[in-house]
Structure 1
């Protein structure tokens, strides 16, 4: 140490020069050798290529890959640098031979560069090939050898070597020329790619095939002589054909690639996509598109989620349509009118809050809310229908009436907790049409929500009746991400497990399309909770279904919003949904969450908790919150004669002859429509003529609707058609007197319908029965 100090003191200049040179040598090599933009590459869950987006400079240059196939590694070393593992970055013998040959010829005829030097030359793109540049490359090559391993240097070379045209790097070349992964190449294919960087212009469709073939076969012969391959392998290899022209890169999930490239440009991303499933779904979408386009329906999207991991298994953002019909648009995250697809959330919300039981009768009659008049799809009414059946049949009027009863703001609060990002306005902006498609959402958010509900049920059953705090999380298409469902808790996240289960029980009964209509009679059929939706104007068709393990979402329509006749969820989206479910493994049905349920007596006819007058009772499990619902209001105790033909009371019949009977009675307007669908519905018996009635009387208008503006058409003779007035009376045998604008018109008995021809303008109808009961209705006649 003392001698070194003395030497430094005596030779300060030499020491300084040495230190400067050493520092220059240490820091002469850039930390990042290659800074050129790279392609965005996505792979499946098992590393199969799904697609790639070309780099910004127009080159097919895949991101750096540390993994080099053994065949290519052997070929490139044998062809370019046989002593690669033995030299320090340059080969003096090769340099001397190259220098001698070039001096004799007076031009550059031979190169003596090692693979390490070629890596340096590739990184110093654009430099002239001079002797001074060669010295720089040599210095940098030795520095690279000191910094990186031999395998890393080979990886640099294979990822950045030119392979002809705009193809850079082994990975891109393997797909462009042989349409498969580099580690799947044969010896002949590996040898072909090994000789290409030496003369990348050799590959061009239809040109230079003979020269390329000779170079490849010479390398294969060298492999044979060095006992790297045997004779049979050599003969089979030289018999292989050369690539004629570049292949297009796979585009198995182009819209997912488009989405990923926005956030992970120029990187290689392993996704959660199941490659085989993605290809099969692509085929299904293409098949249905070929049928749908006959009706000028050009776009569709499909998303498949794994409920348990919340991973995306398949992502089809659009059909293989053309540019004119916007095939580049990724529909999955685009806002579209929801149609009826939000109805299950209203049903679950009302179950969860205890405002409804699964089969409670709900009203289905013509209804008007101000200027808003919802209608069922088939324009008919049931009068009263079980809530679960109203959901499975997707009836509009009961849904809107339930929403009004439940409260628009309350339902909106539930939807906001689902994190539907396209729900941008306040509740009043959407109004009661919120549940029928007045709002917008997207396939991603809707599938995410259904997956969260299914996962809530699964976790509740698997974790001793506990919930997870982060159940309503974002799904992922990145294999590197693992979903964190949060902490276990006894508190529900949004809906309790019983409400979700009962909602799914209803959705399981939705009628399937065409050939699947009798699905419940086949033991092997899959139990799926599913729902369709159709937006106003036939612009959007939805179908979303879930099993214990999978959620499948389908949207069908036109990206530009053009509506088409027949663009209905059950006809266009549902067939795709079930074709996709046929690809997925069968799942057991959800376990019943008994800890959130209680068995109670239910009135079979009304679906309410049984009252003392209900005579047809069944024991059912309901959600615990449903215990606060009121008992059945539709069963009343009446008094009839011995033959049960008339109602009687003590004013006309001896008490000993009076029978007490429970009777199912609906309000007049509900009963009017209910009896058309339920022929066994029996209205209350009339009071015997000699009895004094004790019953209250109810009158309800069927038509016209409140504050309605009516246009009366003319017939072929030019005569204006009549306006038919209708009411429902709880005692239809009563005489009803009709007044229009306080002028008596007529009276009716039994059938309370009346035809009139009012003049244009506003009018008031008044009906008065023989007991003095009255009802009024305003309407307007327009020319």
Structure 2
């Protein structure tokens, strides 16, 4: 140390020069050797190539891979630089031989560059190949050897060497020329690629094949002589042919590639995609597309999520259609009309809030709220239907009536908690049509929500009846991300586990819609909670299903919004859904969340909590919040004569002769439609003629609806058709008196239909029965 200080004091100028040279040498090599744009590459969860998007400069240049396949590494070292692991960045002997040969021939015939020098030359693009440049390369090569390991230098070379045309790097070359990963190349294929950077023009199809073959076989022979490969491998290798044309790169998940490229352009991204499932789903989509396009239905999207990890397992953003039908549009995150796909969220919300029990009867009768009049798919009415059955059959009228009862703002709040980002307006903007497709959402958000519901039940039953604070989180398609579900808590996040479980129990029983067509695909052996949806005008068809482990979502339609006859969820989207579930492992059904449930007596007919008047009851587990629901309102204790033909009381019959009996009684309008679908329904017996007392009499208009504007069409003779008024009465045999604008127009008995021919304008219809009960309805007749 003292000698060094003494030397510096006596040789200041030399010391400064040496210091400057050392500094120059230290900083002569750029921190980043290669700044070329790279392709965006996505791989599956098992690191299989799913697709690549070409680099901005038009080159197939994959992001640098620090792992060099062993066969290629051996071949490139034997072909380019045998002493690679021994020299400091340049090989004096090779340089001397190259100089001698070049001087003798009078031209540059041999370079003598090491792999390290070639890495430097590749990084210094466009530099002339002069002796001065060679000296620079030697200096930089030694600096690179100090900075990087030999393996890293090999990785630089393998990732940036030219392989002919617009192919750069071993990873891109192996896919373009042999259609497989570089780690799967044979000795012959590895040798072929090893000789290409030396003369990349040899790879052009149909040209220079003989020269390329000679170079490859010479290298294989060298490997044989050095006993790197045996004679059998050598003979098999030289028998292999050369690549004749470039292969297109895999495009197994092109729309996911687009999504990844938006935020990770030019990077290699490992995704969560299951490559086997992705290919199977692609094939399913293609098969159904070939059928649907005959009906001019061109687009489809499918998303598969793992419930437990919230990872994306398959991502098909569209069909293999053409550009005219927008094949490049990724529909998974595009807003579309929801149809009936939101109904389960309303059903679960009403259970969660304790507004009803799973099988509570809800009215299915002609309904109008202002100018809005929902209708069922089959344009028929059941009168009354269990809520679970209304959900499984996707009946529109009960859903709207349930929403009206529950409250639009309350339901909208639940949807906002689910973070459906396409709900951009307030609840009044959507109105009651919100539950029938009046709002928009996208396949990603809907599948995310169903997965969160499923996971809520799983976590509750697996973690001592506790929830997680971050249950309703975003899924991921990045293998590097792990979903954190937050902390355990005894408080529900949005829905309680029992309400979700009971909703799924109903969805598991999803039945055919209002027709028997296209149901041969239904597999009753699979326990799947699933729901379909169809938007107004047959523009969007949905099907989303969940098991304990997986969520599958399907959208079918036209990207431009064109509606098509037959574009119905159960006919177009559901078959795809079940085909995808067939490709997934079977799952056990959800465990029942007993701690959120209680067993009570339920009236079998009404679905309400049973009373002493309910004749048929059963023990059912319900959500705890359902304990506050009202008892059965439809079973009444009535007093009949001995023959049970008439209603009586003590004013007309001796008490000893009166039979007290429980009777299932629906309101008149519900009863009117209910008895047409339920032949065993018994209408309440009439009052005996000598009955005195308050009669439990009620009547309701069937048609027209309140504040309706009616257009009366004309027949072929030019005569205006009559308007037929309809009324339901709890005692059909009662005489009804009909008035239009206070003018008497007639009476009806038994069947209460009255035909009138009113003038254009507003009118009030008044109906009075024989007991003095009155009903009124305003209508407007239009031209």
TM-score above 0.5, yes or no: yes
Counterparts of 1:451 and 1:553, CA distance in 2: 10
Counterparts of 1:444 and 1:89, CA distance in 2: 53
2:612 match: secondary structure? coil
Report the RMSD for the aligned CA atoms in angstroms.
1.0
Cα distance 1:652–1:518, how it changes in 2: closer, same or farther (>3 A)?
A: farther
Is this contact kept in 2: 1:94–1:112, CA < 8 A?
yes
Q: Deviations over 1:452-511 (max 9, x none)?
A: 010010111111111111100111111111110111111111100100000000000102
Counterparts of 1:660 and 1:258, CA distance in 2: 73
Alignment of 1:14-25 (within 5 A): 14-25=14-25
1:383 and 2:365 are equivalent in the alignment: no
Counterparts of 1:761 and 1:284, CA distance in 2: 57
1:121 match: secondary structure? helix
Deviation, structure 1 residue 569: 0.3
2:127 match: secondary structure? coil
Name the structure 1 match of 2:559. Answer: 559
Counterparts of 2:511 and 2:252, CA distance in 1: 33
Counterparts of 2:193 and 2:2, CA distance in 1: 57
Counterparts of 1:480 and 1:614, CA distance in 2: 58
1:776 match: secondary structure? strand
Q: Deviations over 1:269-317 (max 9, x none)?
A: 1111111110001000000000000000000000000101111110000
Q: Deviations over 1:600-651 (max 9, x none)?
A: 1111110000122111111111000000000011111110000100001111
Q: Deviations over 1:715-767 (max 9, x none)?
A: 22222211110011111111100011111110011110011111222211111
Alignment of 1:384-399 (within 5 A): 384-399=384-399
Name the structure 2 match of 1:138. Answer: 138
Is this contact kept in 1: 2:362–2:384, CA < 8 A?
yes
Is this contact kept in 2: 1:448–1:474, CA < 8 A?
yes
Name the structure 1 match of 2:129. Answer: 129
Counterparts of 2:647 and 2:578, CA distance in 1: 54
Counterparts of 1:163 and 1:125, CA distance in 2: 16
Name the structure 1 match of 2:281. Answer: 281
Is this contact kept in 1: 2:521–2:575, CA < 8 A?
no
Count of aligned residue pairs for this structure pair = 779
1:445 and 2:434 are equivalent in the alignment: no
1:695 and 2:707 are equivalent in the alignment: no
Name the structure 1 match of 2:589. Answer: 589
Alignment of 1:32-71 (within 5 A): 32-71=32-71
Name the structure 1 match of 2:191. Answer: 191
Q: Deviations over 1:572-618 (max 9, x none)?
A: 00000001101111111111111000011111110000122111111
1:747 match: secondary structure? strand
Is this contact kept in 1: 2:521–2:578, CA < 8 A?
no
Name the structure 2 match of 1:247. Answer: 247
- Select between 393-402 and 757-766 the one with higher mean Cα deviation: 757-766
Name the structure 1 match of 2:723. Answer: 723
Deviation, structure 1 residue 519: 4.2
Counterparts of 2:640 and 2:262, CA distance in 1: 76
Counterparts of 1:211 and 1:315, CA distance in 2: 44
Name the structure 2 match of 1:149. Answer: 149
Counterparts of 1:647 and 1:7, CA distance in 2: 128
Counterparts of 1:118 and 1:583, CA distance in 2: 49
1:552 match: secondary structure? strand
Alignment of 1:349-388 (within 5 A): 349-388=349-388
Name the structure 1 match of 2:535. Answer: 535
Alignment of 1:294-309 (within 5 A): 294-309=294-309
Is this contact kept in 2: 1:357–1:622, CA < 8 A?
yes
Counterparts of 1:226 and 1:688, CA distance in 2: 114
Cα distance 1:680–1:612, how it changes in 2: closer, same or farther (>3 A)?
A: same
Is this contact kept in 2: 1:687–1:693, CA < 8 A?
no
Counterparts of 1:516 and 1:609, CA distance in 2: 38
Deviation, structure 1 residue 102: 1.5
Deviation, structure 1 residue 517: 7.2
Name the structure 1 match of 2:751. Answer: 751
Q: Deviations over 1:248-288 (max 9, x none)?
A: 00000000001001011111111111111100010000000
Name the structure 1 match of 2:494. Answer: 494
Name the structure 2 match of 1:482. Answer: 482
2:304 match: secondary structure? strand
Q: Deviations over 1:339-379 (max 9, x none)?
A: 00000000000000000100000011111111111111110
Cα distance 1:177–1:518, how it changes in 2: closer, same or farther (>3 A)?
A: closer
- Select between 98-107 and 665-674 the one with higher mean Cα deviation: 98-107
Alignment of 1:58-457 (within 5 A): 58-457=58-457
Deviation, structure 1 residue 707: 1.1
Counterparts of 2:497 and 2:341, CA distance in 1: 20
Deviation, structure 1 residue 101: 1.6
Is this contact kept in 2: 1:206–1:244, CA < 8 A?
yes
Deviation, structure 1 residue 515: 4.7
2:717 match: secondary structure? coil
Counterparts of 1:466 and 1:704, CA distance in 2: 52
Name the structure 2 match of 1:30. Answer: 30
1:620 and 2:634 are equivalent in the alignment: no
Unaligned runs of 5+ in 2: none
2:366 match: secondary structure? coil
Counterparts of 2:643 and 2:730, CA distance in 1: 22
Cα distance 1:63–1:600, how it changes in 2: closer, same or farther (>3 A)?
A: same
Is this contact kept in 2: 1:174–1:180, CA < 8 A?
yes
1:634 and 2:642 are equivalent in the alignment: no
Name the structure 1 match of 2:550. Answer: 550
Name the structure 1 match of 2:706. Answer: 706
- Select between 706-715 and 296-305 the one with higher mean Cα deviation: 706-715
Unaligned runs of 5+ in 1: none
Q: Deviations over 1:429-459 (max 9, x none)?
A: 1111110011111000000000001001011
Is this contact kept in 1: 2:67–2:155, CA < 8 A?
yes
Is this contact kept in 2: 1:171–1:181, CA < 8 A?
yes
Counterparts of 1:516 and 1:256, CA distance in 2: 32
Is this contact kept in 2: 1:511–1:517, CA < 8 A?
no
Is this contact kept in 1: 2:50–2:252, CA < 8 A?
yes
Counterparts of 1:742 and 1:476, CA distance in 2: 68
Counterparts of 1:561 and 1:301, CA distance in 2: 14
1:331 match: secondary structure? coil
Counterparts of 1:415 and 1:447, CA distance in 2: 14
